[in-house]
């Protein structure tokens, strides 16, 4: 198993941030590269993405908890991983992505890291806009 971890400072209440990050339609395209289709059905989701010439398919389920949101996913129907977003304190969340190393061969740590950095840079504005949209 491979693991990526990043702590991100947020300017919104962590409870609200976790509530929004518990939506696969919001979170999956921000973590995984080049998602061109996502279908959410309650707690289940399916997504298709493409990196360079390689396509991939994710299926999974989200488990929202009190101080943590956990996504359990499979990609290409046989390998899996876990994405955990947890509250560190009132201003910080920790994103942990654990996955089978063959995902690296397909997507690459560099791209996943780049997406986490982009999420860190844009999270407060993205959450602000999402709060307006959802009236939270």
pTM, rounded to two decimals: 0.91
The Cα–Cα gap between 11 and 108 comes to 30
Q: What is the CATH number of the domain that holds 125?
A: 3.30.530.20
Across residues 111-119, what is the average pLDDT?
Answer: 92
- With vertex at residue 21, the alpha carbon angle to CA 45 and CA 65, rounded to the nearest 5 degrees, is 85
How many domains is the chain partitioned into structurally? Answer: 1
For residue 64, name the pLDDT band (cuts at 50, 70, 90): very high
Dihedral class, residue 4 (left if φ above 0, else alpha if ψ from -120 to 50, else beta): beta
Buried b / exposed e across 102-118, counting CB within 10 Å, b at 16+? ebeebbeeebbeebbee
Across residues 19-47, what is the average pLDDT?
Answer: 96
How many CA atoms lie less than 13 Å away from 27 in the CB half-sphere? 26
Position 86 pLDDT exceeds 90: yes
Q: Which domain holds residue 79?
A: 2-134
Residues 6+ apart with CB under 8 A from 80: 72, 73, 74, 99, 100
DSSP string, 57-71: EEEEEEEE-SSEEEE
3 state DSSP class of 108: coil
């Amino acid at each position: 198993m491979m693991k990526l971890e990043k702590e991100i400072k947020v300017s919104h209440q962590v409870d609200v941030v976790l509530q929004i990050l518990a939506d696969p339609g919001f979170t999956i395209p921000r973590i995984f590269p080049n998602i061109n289709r996502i279908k959410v059905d309650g707690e289940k989701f399916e997504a298709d993405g493409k990196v360079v010439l390689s396509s991939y398919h994710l299926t999974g389920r989200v488990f929202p908890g009190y101080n943590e949101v956990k996504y359990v996913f499979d990609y290409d129907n046989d390998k899996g991983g876990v994405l955990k977003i947890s509250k560190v304190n009132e201003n910080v969340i920790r994103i942990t992505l654990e996955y089978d190393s063959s995902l690296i061969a397909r997507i690459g740590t560099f791209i996943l890291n780049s997406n986490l950095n982009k999420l860190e840079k844009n999270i407060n504005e993205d959450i602000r806009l999402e709060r307006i949209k959802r009236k939270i």
